[in-house]
Amino acid sequence: MASILHKSIYLLFSIFICTISSIYADCTIPVVLRNTWFSFENGKQTITDINASEMTARGVCVNIKADYHVNYTMVFRYTNCYYCVKLIVRTVNVLEKIETPCVDIGPDEEPTVERVCKGLNPDQSLTTLFSENSVPVNCRSSLEGVWQFAYQNRFRFTGECNHPDAQIKSCQTAGTQFLITNQKFNITYRKCPGMSGTFDGVVEFSCLGHWFVDKNHFFAVANTKESRKDERYRCFLKNRDDDLYIGASITPQCNTLKTVEKSPERYRINPVKAEVVEPGCRLPQNFSGNWINTANIDADVVINETHIIETYYPDEGRFRRTIYVCREQRDTRVMMARLTVDGCQKDYVCFDFVPQHHNVIRYRKGLAMIQSNFHTVCSWVQFKNQVRWRYDIFLKKDPTPIRCPVAGKFNFTQRGDVKFETRILGGVTLSPRPNLYCKLNISDFSVCDVDQKTIQIKENYCLSVDYLGRPVDIYSDPDYKMNCIGYWKENLKSYLITYDELDPFSKYRCWVYQRADLNRVLMSQALGPYCDLKQDVTSWNYTEGAAVAVEMEEYERERDQCPMHFDDGSDPWSTKENYIKVFSFSYSFWRGNSASTIHVFIPLYILVVVYLLK
Ligand SMILES: *[C@@H]1O[C@H](CO)[C@@H](O)[C@H](O)[C@H]1NC(C)=O
Ligand SMILES: *[C@@H]1O[C@H](CO)[C@@H](O)[C@H](O)[C@H]1NC(C)=O
Ligand SMILES: *[C@@H]1O[C@H](CO)[C@@H](O)[C@H](O)[C@H]1NC(C)=O
Ligand SMILES: *[C@@H]1O[C@H](CO)[C@@H](O)[C@H](O)[C@H]1NC(C)=O
Ligand SMILES: *[C@@H]1O[C@H](CO)[C@@H](O)[C@H](O)[C@H]1NC(C)=O
Ligand SMILES: *[C@@H]1O[C@H](CO)[C@@H](O)[C@H](O)[C@H]1NC(C)=O
Ligand SMILES: *[C@@H]1O[C@H](CO)[C@@H](O)[C@H](O)[C@H]1NC(C)=O
Ligand SMILES: *[C@@H]1O[C@H](CO)[C@@H](O)[C@H](O)[C@H]1NC(C)=O
């Protein structure tokens, strides 16, 4: 018994080690490192070949240790001594290297990473290796925009060359099938009078990828027109806190860039202002406000009468903003000019909106085009014509609850990956229950507030009655409480969006619902704010994007005062408020513990009346 336990612990532990921290193998060099690399080492151009087992000038690999598939520390046997080489994968095209000199080890010592790499100095400067067979990558994450620049090169001239026509231009061409243009950017240099070493010319760079070291944002480039290898590769440095300068190396080495200001070559950049686009139409007034885009919950969407501004935060301290300006509108289609980054060319996108209802805007977006002709941009052909599609949605940031399309008191059974469970609202602890006789335990789904705007779910609800047959609601605190904020019917399915401030996973949840019978309703809750196209009322697992499916049956009791209501969402624009007002005082009167006092008071009351009549 104990040995089995031991074994399984050992097994678990070794799995843990293998997957989390490191991989020990005899030595197979991973595919990312196998290539022909160019570097500039000790003033010499160096070509390094790495294949599955060997590295040029270092020998045969005998031991390897990997950190998170990013850093690889390897021991190479070179005739009779050992090299320790640590390679850091920066991008598919760039590696950085630190190493030890060739060391001798004792005859009884194993050439392991621990032994040979003992003397590896982690603070030595990194050597940059550029792939000879580079795969160009999109420039977007490295550099995007248009800037006028002034530059300094301490090694070629003194002072700063500032010419108004000198420009750095890195723009993405939207909707280009062949993305080659998005993998390059241009720097236009201009000669400054009286400064030798400055020149007129356009240099085109292709992007090799970017990486961060703390706040330093490095990116590597290759000059597309340069055949001399030492002139071909360059490294650039930006800093997140400093959008005024860009640093560049003047050799194929990134280690010369310590800070932007102290770089061998330094560009002082000024964003070129985007041309102003005058709005040519107005969006419906009720679009104005703050929204979230369910396809990208991390984005803020602000809409006013003429603009849609979407701001997205790819990581801390950075943001990407896309501005759409209304240009022309016909029927439900609106052609909008799209401005991404300052200075880059604008393009045009067609939106097809469904009139707004509840807290929801539904829309489709066409392909972006350079031309501004409404008939071309907004032709129905521009909308991706998939067999199955659905409108995208924006949801109000501060939604106002609406009447739920499903209301009443239901018991339910559930099935799912993420089931509703008994908890204290806002926490996850099970509420302690004193010994109590429950006639029946059910799961309860009710929308019983006066306006029928809030769904309350109690996973384990104790149905019990007191000696007079009245229900006693002891655990009446719900486990879940969510507001309905929108519903509609699309593709023959009814969709509901709920909002729960306390939901740690997603405040907004999409549901698919359907009436199965006169008093039965089927619902399926999605994992997030949008419903998968495949999601159906019976979906319950992640393969269809669902968290849980519930089957509900009405069970209103005599005293519940909770009328049933169902709306399939085919006309979400009609404002149906609940006009059945239940006066709360009578409700609490019957429910309260005042029952015994009534018994006393009624005869008294009769007595008084009789007395008065006399
Ligand atoms: C790696 O390259 C060396 C020398 O070029 C060659 O001898 C060896 O067979 C190669 N190994 C593999 C696994 O391709
Ligand atoms: C990889 O190595 C570098 C330099 O030694 C270090 O700064 C970094 O934290 C390492 N990364 C991982 C994931 O171990
Ligand atoms: C860079 O400039 C050249 C010549 O002016 C031009 O042909 C090329 O398309 C430009 N490349 C980019 C990415 O703008
Ligand atoms: C809408 O927002 C844009 C950008 O913030 C602003 O320039 C414009 O004046 C606003 N329009 C209206 C009608 O408020
Ligand atoms: C918003 O305005 C459109 C027309 O301008 C109208 O059809 C729609 O019902 C309105 N929606 C709301 C929720 O008022
Ligand atoms: C609801 O409760 C009734 C009566 O207790 C039971 O017959 C029925 O199966 C329950 N329905 C569901 C969906 O749990
Ligand atoms: C109802 O649930 C309570 C607490 O979970 C349990 O003690 C009780 O036995 C259940 N009653 C029935 C009838 O299942
Ligand atoms: C998910 O649900 C579907 C349909 O309800 C079912 O066919 C499938 O086997 C389920 N998948 C898993 C992984 O449970």
Give the ligand 7 atom nearest the CA of 439.
Answer: 13
Give the ligand 5 atom nearest the CA of 357.
Answer: 13
Q: Which residue has the tokens 């097994």?
A: 11
Give the ligand 7 atom nearest the CA of 435.
Answer: 7
Q: How far apart are CA 136 and CA 282, in angstroms?
A: 41
Pocket of ligand 7 (CB under 6 A): 433, 438, 440-441, 460, 462
pLDDT of 495 over the 90 cut: yes
Contact between 137 and 222 under an 8 Å Cβ cutoff? The reply is no
CA end-to-end distance (rounded Å), the chain: 91
> What is the three-class DSSP state of 560?
coil
What's the pLDDT score for residue 585?
42
Q: How far apart are CA 601 and CA 611, in angstroms?
A: 15
How many Å lie between the centroid of ligand 4 and the Cα of residue 145?
22
What's the pLDDT score for residue 317?
61
How many Å lie between the centroid of ligand 5 and the Cα of residue 310?
22
> What is the three-class DSSP state of 183?
helix
Ligand 3 test: best mutation among 143, 189, 204, 345, most atoms within 8 Å of CB?
204
Predicted TM-score (pTM) above 0.85 = no
Q: What is the DSSP string of 150-179?
A: EEEETTT-SS-EEEEEEEEEE---TT-SSG
Beta strands in 30-153 (DSSP E): 35-41, 44-50, 54-55, 59-67, 71-78, 81-91, 94-99, 127-131, 145-153
Q: What is the pLDDT of residues 302-346, one digit of tens each?
A: 999 999 999 887 666 667 788 899 999 998 999 999 887 666 777
Q: Is the CB of residue 176 below 6 angstroms from any atom belonging to ligand 6?
A: no
Q: Among 360-374, 403-417, 483-497, 566-580, whose mean pLDDT is lowest?
A: 566-580
Q: Is the CB of residue 413 below 6 angstroms from any atom belonging to ligand 6?
A: yes
How many Å lie between the centroid of ligand 6 and the Cα of residue 497?
26
Nearest ligand to residue 20 Cα: 2
Contact between 154 and 264 under an 8 Å Cβ cutoff? The reply is yes
95-120 burial, b at 16+ Cβ within 10 Å, e below that, comes to: bbbbbbebbebeeeeebebebbbeee
The alpha carbon of residue 138 and the mean position of all alpha carbons in its chain are separated, in whole angstroms, by 19
Average pLDDT over residues 455-468: 79
Phi, psi of 459 (to 5 degrees): -75, -45
Q: Which two tokens stand for residue 431?
A: 């509420």
How many Å lie between the centroid of ligand 6 and the Cα of residue 405?
22
Could you tell me the domains of the chain? 24-131 (no CATH), 145-271 (no CATH), 285-396 (2.40.128), 406-429+438-566 (no CATH)
What's the pLDDT score for residue 436?
58
Q: Is the CB of residue 71 below 6 angstroms from any atom belonging to ligand 3?
A: no
Q: For the chain, what is the largest distance between any 2 Cα atoms, rounded to a whole number of angstroms? A: 126
Q: Among 6-15, 24-33, 364-373, whose mean pLDDT is lowest?
A: 6-15
How many Å lie between the centroid of ligand 6 and the Cα of residue 442?
8
| CA-wise closest residue to 459 among 437, 435, 481 | 481
| CA-wise closest residue to 27 among 1, 66, 70 | 66
Beta-carbon contacts of 564 under 8 Å, excluding residues fewer than 6 positions away, are: 407, 408, 409, 519, 554, 556
Q: Is the CB of residue 176 below 6 angstroms from any atom belonging to ligand 3?
A: no
Q: How many C-beta atoms lie closer than 10 Å to residue 503's C-beta?
A: 14
Beta strands in 450-519 (DSSP E): 454-463, 480-490, 493-499, 508-517
What are the residues facing 63 on neighbouring strands? 75
Phi, psi of 608 (to 5 degrees): -60, -45
Q: Which two tokens stand for residue 235?
A: 């490294």
Q: Whose CA is nearest to atom 2 of ligand 2?
A: 71
pLDDT of 228 over the 60 cut: yes
Contact between 103 and 82 under an 8 Å Cβ cutoff? The reply is yes
Pocket of ligand 4 (CB under 6 A): 304-307
DSSP assignment letter at 381: G
Q: What is the pLDDT of residues 245-298, one digit of tens each?
A: 899 999 999 998 988 888 899 999 988 876 778 999 999 998 999 999 988 777
What's the pLDDT score for residue 471?
62
> What is the three-class DSSP state of 27?
coil
What's the pLDDT score for residue 3?
45
How many Å lie between the centroid of ligand 1 and the Cα of residue 51?
6
Q: Which two tokens stand for residue 311?
A: 């701001």
Ligand 4 test: best mutation among 275, 288, 306, most atoms within 8 Å of CB?
306
What's the pLDDT score for residue 429?
47
463-476 burial, b at 16+ Cβ within 10 Å, e below that, comes to: bbeeeeeeeeeebe
What are the residues facing 512 on neighbouring strands? 495, 524
Q: Whose CA is nearest to atom 8 of ligand 6?
A: 553
Q: Is the CB of residue 356 below 6 angstroms from any atom belonging to ligand 5?
A: yes
Q: Is the CB of residue 54 below 6 angstroms from any atom belonging to ligand 1?
A: yes
> What is the three-class DSSP state of 387?
coil
Q: Which two tokens stand for residue 56?
A: 């040029």
Contact between 352 and 366 under an 8 Å Cβ cutoff? The reply is yes
Percent of the chain with pLDDT over 90: 39
How many Å lie between the centroid of ligand 8 and the Cα of residue 541?
6
Q: Whose CA is nearest to atom 9 of ligand 2?
A: 71
305-333 burial, b at 16+ Cβ within 10 Å, e below that, comes to: ebbbebeeeeeeeeeeebbbbbbbbeeeb
Q: Among 31-35, 193-197, 272-276, 590-594, whose mean pLDDT is lowest?
A: 590-594
pLDDT of 128 over the 80 cut: yes
Average pLDDT over residues 36-40: 92
> What is the three-class DSSP state of 291?
strand
Please name the helix (run of DSSP H) or strand (run of DSSP E) that holds residue 584, with its range, or none. Answer: helix 584-591
What single-letter amino acid sits at 490?
Answer: E
Contact between 287 and 356 under an 8 Å Cβ cutoff? The reply is yes
Q: Whose CA is nearest to atom 1 of ligand 6?
A: 411
Q: Is the CB of residue 51 below 6 angstroms from any atom belonging to ligand 1?
A: yes
Q: Which two tokens stand for residue 226?
A: 């340069």
Q: How far apart are CA 281 and CA 325, in angstroms?
A: 9
- Per the document, the length of the chain is 614
Give the ligand 4 atom nearest the CA of 304.
Answer: 1
> What is the three-class DSSP state of 497?
strand
Relative to beta strand 216-223, strand 233-239 is: antiparallel
Beta-carbon contacts of 539 under 8 Å, excluding residues fewer than 6 positions away, are: 512, 524, 532, 545, 546, 549
Give the ligand 2 atom nearest the CA of 71.
Answer: 1
Query: Is residue 492 left, alpha or beta, with left meaning phi > 0 and alpha meaning psi from -120 to 50?
Result: left
Q: How far apart are CA 353 and CA 331, in angstroms?
A: 9
Q: What is the pLDDT of residues 531-546, one digit of tens each?
A: 999 999 999 999 999 9
How far CA 589 is from CA of 583, 584, 597, in Å, comes to 10, 8, 11
Q: How many C-beta atoms lie closer than 10 Å to residue 278's C-beta?
A: 8
| CA-wise closest residue to 148 among 257, 31, 272, 24 | 272
What's the pLDDT score for residue 316?
63
pLDDT of 181 over the 90 cut: no
Q: Is the CB of residue 355 below 6 angstroms from any atom belonging to ligand 5?
A: yes
What's the pLDDT score for residue 18?
38
Beta-carbon contacts of 601 under 8 Å, excluding residues fewer than 6 positions away, are: none
Ligand 8 test: best mutation among 534, 541, 544, most atoms within 8 Å of CB?
541
Q: Is the CB of residue 70 below 6 angstroms from any atom belonging to ligand 2?
A: yes
Q: How far apart are CA 72 and CA 66, in angstroms?
A: 5
Q: Is the CB of residue 217 below 6 angstroms from any atom belonging to ligand 5?
A: no
Q: Which residue has the tokens 């290796």?
A: 129
Ligand 2 test: best mutation among 20, 32, 33, 70, most atoms within 8 Å of CB?
70
Torsion of CA 417, 419, 424, 429, to 10 degrees: -50
